[in-house]
């Protein structure tokens, strides 16, 4: 019996993310675990449901049926197996789920390890606000446009917006499901999942035919966190399932990011708490996410600044003189010198410099502020 065959059987009969199963496989190997389960099944010392699954399992038939639908099964040791999945073996289970998966079912043309090499997860509330959906879509599009793979769970709300943003930018996206990759959940996203399977990847730890359940969603969340270099939570209430993904990301030492919302918005309260208590990075758009998840300097951003005008380049003495120039009624240079507390010669030199910058006007031997402030040539409102 090969390890691949044993992992296939265990995938068909076990629950995704069951820490008892994943832990034993990591410790003893899949062949030994399956042999032990079959021995207990024959002795009647195994749970009825699991024993029934073991007796009914037809791994070769299941694999052939999956292949006919364009579905493949990958395991550790395969060329496209993502090395980051192994990190789950060293993290204690969270909320009853944990451990490195025994295998993964894939539907789509992309090679899994290459698709996940620079992947970022974008997750959040199913009941997203217009604001949240717009931000998630922009983040997805920006990441995909930079060649990053956008990973999410294909749920309503934030997940859907992130996937669609990536697809709109013609970039890679991966949907991680809590059911078999041959099923559409939610059903309304059947067309979306079919399209992702055409151009990206749909993956699941659950075997084909498995239905989505609460514990399978929890198992799915750990995969989203483990298979990516960082997780962005766009909107999440205080009891949102997206925070479970965030907890996994933090436990796995992945970059954890949160998009703030209005302080009065319930759908953002979980994100705010995550930023405050868990030290998640505050991000506001895709460029922030790129900077946070890239190598140092690869996507360094210019800090947003106001318009750069001539005042920003003044010397302290020139600023002092400018502050002494009246707004409406012009005055002579000597009076400005006395107000500024600067010698007359220095004041006059400063006034001439200010005039060349368009900050003051001169007429009838009098000086006053220019009607409109000047901006330096070649600058704009986004200058840096």
| Higher per-residue confidence, 285 vs 309 | 285
Q: How confident is the model at residue 379 (pLDDT cuts 50, 70, 90)?
A: very low
pLDDT(45) > 70: no
pLDDT(377) > 60: no
| Higher per-residue confidence, 311 vs 219 | 219
Q: Within a domain: residue 289?
A: yes
Residues 187 and 254 in one domain: yes
The structural domain count of the chain equals 2
Residues 242 and 346 in one domain: no
CATH of the domain at 98: 3.40.50.450
| Higher per-residue confidence, 294 vs 81 | 81
| Residue 301: Cβ within 10 Å count | 11
Decide: 230 and 254 in contact? Cβ < 8 Å.
yes
pLDDT in tens, 321-373: 999 999 888 999 999 999 999 999 999 999 999 999 999 999 999 999 998 75
* 84: Cβ contacts below 8 Å, ≥ 6 apart: 116, 226, 227, 228
From first CA to last CA, the distance across the chain in angstroms is 64
Q: Within a domain: residue 351?
A: yes
| Higher per-residue confidence, 309 vs 127 | 127
Q: How confident is the model at residue 40 (pLDDT cuts 50, 70, 90)?
A: confident
Last residue of a domain, one of 241, 264, 293: 293
Residues 203 and 287 in one domain: yes
pLDDT in tens, 227-242: 999 999 999 999 888 9
Q: How confident is the model at residue 279 (pLDDT cuts 50, 70, 90)?
A: confident
CATH of the domain at 333: 1.10.10.10
Q: How confident is the model at residue 307 (pLDDT cuts 50, 70, 90)?
A: low
Predicted pLDDT at 285: 96
Q: Within a domain: residue 50?
A: no
pLDDT(380) > 50: no
Measured CA to CA, the distance from residue 241 to residue 258 in angstroms comes to: 14
Report the candidate in 287, 175, 259 with the shortest Cα–Cα distance to residue 223.
175
Distance of CA 336 to the CA centre of its chain: 57
Residues 289 and 320 in one domain: no
| Higher per-residue confidence, 92 vs 84 | 84
Q: Within a domain: residue 34?
A: no
Residues 267 and 335 in one domain: no
Q: How confident is the model at residue 41 (pLDDT cuts 50, 70, 90)?
A: confident
Predicted pLDDT at 311: 81
Residues 247 and 105 in one domain: yes
Predicted pLDDT at 48: 66
Residues 224 and 286 in one domain: yes
Mean predicted confidence (pLDDT) in 79-106: 92
Decide: 310 and 383 in contact? Cβ < 8 Å.
no
Residues 267 and 319 in one domain: no
Decide: 8 and 59 in contact? Cβ < 8 Å.
yes
Q: What domain range is 327 assigned to?
A: 310-369
Measured CA to CA, the distance from residue 283 to residue 138 in angstroms comes to: 12
């Amino acid at each position: 019996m090969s390890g691949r065959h044993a992992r296939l059987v265990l995938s068909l009969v076990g629950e995704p993310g069951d820490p008892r199963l994943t832990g034993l496989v990591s410790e003893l190997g899949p062949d030994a675990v399956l042999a032990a389960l079959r021995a207990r099944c024959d002795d009647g010392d195994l749970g009825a449901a699991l024993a029934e699954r073991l007796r009914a399992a037809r791994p070769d038939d299941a694999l052939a049926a999956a292949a006919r639908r364009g579905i493949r099964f990958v395991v550790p040791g395969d060329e496209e197996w993502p090395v980051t999945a192994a990190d789950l073996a060293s993290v204690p289970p969270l909320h009853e789920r944990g451990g490195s998966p025994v295998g993964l079912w894939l539907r789509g043309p992309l090679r899994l390890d290459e698709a996940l090499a620079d992947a970022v997860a974008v997750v959040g509330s199913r009941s997203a606000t217009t604001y949240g959906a717009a931000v998630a879509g922009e983040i997805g599009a920006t990441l995909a446009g930079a060649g990053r793979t956008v990973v999410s769970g294909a749920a309503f709300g934030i997940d859907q917006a992130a996937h669609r943003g990536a697809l709109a930018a013609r970039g890679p996206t991966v949907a991680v499901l809590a059911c078999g990759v041959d099923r559409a959940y939610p059903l309304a996203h059947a067309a979306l999942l079919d399209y992702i399977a055409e151009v990206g990847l749909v993956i699941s730890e659950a075997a084909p035919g498995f239905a989505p359940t609460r514990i399978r969603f929890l198992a799915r969340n750990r995969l989203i966190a483990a298979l990516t270099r960082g997780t962005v939570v766009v909107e999440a209430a205080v009891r949102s399932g997206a925070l479970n993904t965030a907890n996994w990301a933090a436990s796995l030492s992945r970059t954890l990011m949160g998009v703030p919302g209005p302080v009065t918005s319930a759908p953002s309260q979980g994100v705010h708490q995550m930023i405050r208590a868990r030290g998640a990075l505050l991000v506001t758009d895709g460029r922030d996410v790129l900077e946070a998840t890239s190598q140092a300097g690869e996507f360094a951003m210019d800090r947003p600044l106001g318009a750069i005008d001539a005042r920003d380049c003044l010397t302290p003495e020139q600023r002092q003189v400018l502050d002494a120039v009246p707004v409406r009624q012009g005055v002579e240079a000597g009076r400005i010198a006395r107000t500024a507390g600067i010698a007359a010669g220095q004041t006059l030199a400063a006034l001439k410099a200010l005039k060349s910058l368009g900050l003051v006007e001169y007429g009838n031997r009098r000086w006053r502020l220019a009607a409109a402030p000047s901006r330096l040539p070649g600058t704009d409102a986004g200058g840096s």
